[in-house]
Structure 1
């Protein structure tokens, strides 16, 4: 029997003035371990008059992870953080009881042609930390553990795996890995992982049990032992997962919580504009009137 339980195709979604490929949540699979949301941004070529502008918007109950392959984004938040995210770096913002942030093309790129390509990920917080104080962490590419194993280049972007630990301050047992192969290569790393596991193909292809899988798909495993497969040449994949939470998570717009009441309070707070603001920013994304409950 195949260990691949579900294949999720990327679906187009609009985040303001920018199209993304949505991977999670999916109607048949809301979360993988603590991972509750994944968007694939781009690759998008932007002309000198086109820029990413996501005005201030709030989050609760989660950490956001931004990881770029190409391009740059200025992140500003209500803690006063003001940083440009560049390829290979990790932006890790923990909302806890509430944070507000904006994401924009940096000023020095706003009048030039540019590319934007990357992943935006939400990781739900465990129930006892959902109301923690917000926090922000930025890691340079050189801070991220990387090594070669059996001819494959591996990066541990967040969490723990292979006896290594990323400096990104996660709040529950999880892992987020990048694997790159330049040649056709058999991989067997399932014994190093735990909990629920999924695999996202960015480029190239993998082969498992006679089937070939190509980009813009997430493969969900029955368990973390998914990871015996063959990578084709010039393939890049991301493996993510971890221990699932015992409680259900509800998602409404940018809010994630184990209790719907926390979401209702956050909606009221945003409508009343009583979240801490992003310094220097006055516009904001309004609360959607009829935003669907995803759960």
Structure 2
């Protein structure tokens, strides 16, 4: 998916819990055909949580028969994309020749490094029948020394990711380590990502070992230090504190974060880099056709003016 900066005011909830550093109310965008996106990162007061530099919550949307998502080929540098679905499916096609249908609960990690292009479309069968879509897309900024690595692709079906289930909590470990278990996904820097569902009244611990941590409330409501927060919200916590959140109603949330990068990043369209000059080069590379093409795709998103 593509990103362009906007001029929205900085919005956040009032918070009283000392462990909470920031509460972000995602900004809503309608990308057409009723396809709603809620953007939590980047934010005016916080660019990243660990290496997470972009966080979009899309849907729920019901595509009718014959309709669907059509994100034409577009480029990335300096980041890895994570697409995670709760409902629906997306067909990923990449310039490295990877073709994969992303289904709910699967981990889809595309590392752009020095440059990659891909498209994201509704698969033919789902387009014919119509489908409900709900999911998340995140960008993971690559650390210094790894921004120009070779592009790569990893995909793990939901059944191949570890799941912890105990006492009203179910957690799928998408990347990194949480709840005492580790995902098989290979990473170039330490970060973690987990889908957590909790029944009403159940308390869930957030690991204090990670340097930067946040919880994205997809739906439901949690209580922290006698304060309640309802989804969608991104709750960013201070380092080191032991955190426990209590589900005030059945809740679905994402635990995320990791080691802070060594410095901020520049973002323009789909490009992330520690160097403004590198982004200018990427602009010219896309404009002049120097990115590798996505096989069997005959259109693309032009460079924004």
> What TM-score comes out, normalization by structure 1 length?
0.93
- Compute the displacement of 1:174 (Å): 0.9
1:60 aligns with 2:83: no
- Superposed CA offset, 1:25-62 (max 9, x none): 00100100100001001010111132100000000001
Question: 1:69 and 2:69 equivalent?
Answer: no
Alignment TM-score, normalising by the size of structure 2: 0.90
Partner of 2:222: 206
Q: What residue in structure 2 maps to residue 154 of structure 1? A: 171
- Choose the corresponding residue for 1:259, options 255, 268, 275: 275
Runs of at least 4 residues off by over 6 Å: none
RMSD: 1.5
Which residue is 1:186 aligned to?
A: 203
Contact 1:190 1:228 in 2 (8 A): no
Unaligned ranges ≥5, structure 2: 1-16
Q: How does 1:108-257 map to 2 (within 5 A)?
A: 108-191=125-208, 193-223=209-239, 225=241, 227-257=243-273
Query: 2:72·2:300 contact (CA, 8 Å) conserved in 1?
Result: yes
Cα distance in 1 for residues equivalent to 2:126 and 2:224: 42
| Partner residue in 2 for 1:95 | 112
- In 1, are the aligned partners of 2:192 and 2:256 still within 8 Å (CA)? yes
Out of 14, 19, 22, which is 2:39 matched to? 22
Kindly state the Cα deviation for residue 150 of structure 1 after the two structures are TM-superposed.
Answer: 4.2
- Following TM superposition, by how much is the alpha carbon of 1:218 offset from its aligned partner in structure 2, in angstroms? 0.4
> Structure 1, unaligned stretches of length 5 or more?
290-295
8 Å CA contact retained: 2:36, 2:60: no
